């Protein structure tokens, strides 16, 4: 295990009526001007908006609404939010939604406090923001675990880059599984697979020998697989939903990454695919993972073999490491089909004429991956995913 320092600043309120029971006390700690940020307006249909507005009103807050945050938040939208925060002297941001809303607000909180362009400051000058508007997150769509870290995935449309920016940690996160019960089943499946991907991406990093973080990781993967199947049988199973919501948080709160250098090459490739196609993140990962993993053999054989046995329950009797590694990829591929996710880009509506070469050439090569990919190899992966 590598050396590490672990500290976690976000308080988590988990369970039914978490907002009703805990948000008023949190609001007592902040200033009067609150930005309520959300996406396309689903919170107005499911009652969450009215509930939160009543809590904010009873707390005596001045509310500025910032809506319309899209599923792949753009840098332009970040700038709109930052300007609105400045104009209204916002003291606190309450982000309500899934990973897109939550990520967007992390960057708004930083950009509102810095005069220069944050993208340039972070990516070109390699600076780190150190002043933020405080924030709280209320999760209504799970999967990304975005409420559990300070990284944000933002699409810079002009630069054709979907990449990471760093903003603030949330002071608190409210995870009420009931809030997620109106998510479309397709979104539930996609989000849960993103959680599984986070676990696998962390597991496939270095060091390759198993450590405590990996063993916790294996349990998280088993949990996601089991509860995804339970959700498919009964989408209103609140117990299964609760497990998936917490698994998403566990996958991104740093616990699984302790002592690890993570992989995340599949994520980097999918991010750039999203920059060019605005595709669904979880679906893109579902197509990419098995193909990328086949290209990772034999470098990743030992880790794949462990996953075959410890996560997917494949008997090691009479099987070589190579056979177990291939059995893992087969099990993952079959599971993707079982839960109804796509297996090729054409099923996502991504045409073969997409500039996959440009996507590969602009993809970040991650240092933690057990196979050191080249841009040409990633291009080959994308072409295989398309056919």
Q: How confident is the model at residue 206 (pLDDT cuts 50, 70, 90)?
A: confident
Whole-angstrom Cα distance, residue 100 to residue 81? Answer: 13
Whole-angstrom Cα distance, residue 245 to residue 63? Answer: 28
Cis peptide before 298 (omega within 30 of 0): yes
Q: DSSP of 195-253, one letter per residue?
A: HHHHHHHHHTSBS-S--HHHHHHHHHHHHHHHHHHHHHH-TT-HHHHHHHHHHHHHHTS
CA torsion, ordered 99, 104, 109, 111, to nearest 10 deg: 150
Average pLDDT, the chain: 96
Other beta carbons within 10 Å of 46 = 16
pLDDT of residue 197: 98
What is the rounded average pLDDT of the residues 367-377? 91
* Residue 215: pLDDT over 90: yes
Strands (E), 101-207: 135-139, 151-156, 161-166, 172-175
Whole-angstrom Cα distance, residue 270 to residue 310? Answer: 27
269 Cβ contact partners less than 8 Å away, ≥ 6 residues apart: 288, 292, 359, 360, 363, 378, 381, 382
Whole-angstrom Cα distance, residue 90 to residue 113? Answer: 11
- The 10s digit of each residue's pLDDT in 84-140 is 999 999 999 999 999 999 999 999 999 999 999 999 999 999 999 999 999 999 999
Asked whether 10 and 171 are in contact (CB, 8 A), the reply is yes
What phi-psi label fits residue 30: left (phi over 0), alpha (psi between -120 and 50 degrees) or beta?
Answer: beta
What is the rounded average pLDDT of the residues 260-285? 96
What is the rounded average pLDDT of the residues 344-362? 97
Maximal C-alpha separation, the chain: 68
pLDDT of residue 93: 98
Asked whether 291 and 230 are in contact (CB, 8 A), the reply is no
Q: Of 311, 313, 385, 308, which Cα lies nearest the Cα of 354?
A: 385
Whole-angstrom Cα distance, residue 366 to residue 42? Answer: 36
Asked whether 339 and 228 are in contact (CB, 8 A), the reply is yes
Q: What structural domains does the chain harbor? A: 11-180 (3.40.50.1970), 185-386 (1.20.1090.10)
Whole-angstrom Cα distance, residue 289 to residue 236? Answer: 28
Q: How confident is the model at residue 316 (pLDDT cuts 50, 70, 90)?
A: very high
- The 10s digit of each residue's pLDDT in 22-45 is 999 999 999 999 999 999 889 999
Whole-angstrom Cα distance, residue 242 to residue 373? Answer: 37
What is the rounded average pLDDT of the residues 196-221? 93
Whole-angstrom Cα distance, residue 302 to residue 286? Answer: 22
Whole-angstrom Cα distance, residue 184 to residue 136? Answer: 24
20: its two tokens = 């009703």
Looking up tokens 């000058």, which residue turns up? 125
Q: 187 vs 21, 144, 254, CA distance in Å?
A: 28, 12, 24
Other beta carbons within 10 Å of 231 = 21
Q: 0.85 exceeded by the pTM? A: yes
Burial 83-101 (b: 16+ CB within 10 A, else e): ebbeeeebbbbbbbbbbbb
| Collapsed DSSP state (helix, strand, coil) of residue 300 | coil
* Residue 1: pLDDT over 90: no
């Amino acid at each position: 295990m590598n050396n590490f320092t672990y500290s976690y600043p976000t308080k988590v309120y988990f369970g039914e009526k978490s907002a009703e029971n805990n948000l008023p006390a949190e609001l007592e700690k902040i200033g009067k001007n609150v930005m309520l940020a959300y996406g396309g307006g689903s919170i107005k249909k499911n009652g969450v908006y009215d509930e939160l507005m009543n809590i904010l009103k009873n707390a005596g807050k001045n509310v500025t609404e910032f809506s319309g945050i899209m599923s792949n938040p753009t840098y332009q939208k970040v700038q709109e939010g930052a300007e609105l925060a400045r104009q209204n002297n916002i003291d606190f941001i309450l982000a309500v939604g899934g990973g897109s809303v939550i990520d967007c607000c992390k960057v708004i909180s930083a950009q509102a406090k810095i005069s220069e362009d944050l993208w340039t400051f972070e990516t070109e000058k390699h600076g780190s923001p150190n002043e933020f508007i405080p924030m709280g997150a209320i999760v209504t769509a799970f999967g990304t675990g975005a409420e559990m870290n300070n990284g944000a995935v933002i699409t810079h449309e002009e630069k054709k880059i979907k990449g990471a920016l760093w903003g603030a940690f949330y002071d608190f996160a409210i995870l009420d599984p009931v809030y997620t019960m109106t998510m479309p089943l397709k979104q539930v499946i996609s989000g849960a697979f993103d959680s599984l991907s986070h676990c696998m991406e962390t597991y496939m990093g270095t060091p390759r020998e198993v450590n405590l973080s990996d063993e916790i990781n294996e349990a998280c993967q088993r949990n996601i697989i089991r509860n995804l199947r339970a959700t498919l049988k009964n989408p209103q199973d609140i117990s299964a939903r609760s497990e998936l919501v917490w698994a998403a948080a566990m996958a991104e709160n740093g616990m699984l990454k302790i002592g690890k250098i993570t992989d995340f090459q599949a994520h980097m490739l999918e991010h750039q695919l999203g920059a060019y196609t605005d595709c669904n993140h979880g679906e893109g990962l579902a197509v990419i993972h098995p193909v990328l993993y086949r290209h990772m053999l034999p470098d990743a054989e030992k880790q794949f073999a462990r996953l075959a046995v410890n996560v997917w329950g494949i008997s090691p009797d009479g099987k070589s490491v190579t056979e177990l590694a291939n059995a893992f990829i087969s099990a993952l591929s079959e599971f993707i089909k079982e839960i109804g996710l796509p297996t090729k880009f054409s099923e996502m509506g991504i045409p073969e004429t997409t500039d996959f070469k440009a996507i590969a050439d602009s993809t970040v090569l991650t240092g933690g991956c057990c196979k050191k990919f080249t841009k040409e190899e990633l291009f080959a992966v994308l072409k295989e995913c398309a056919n």
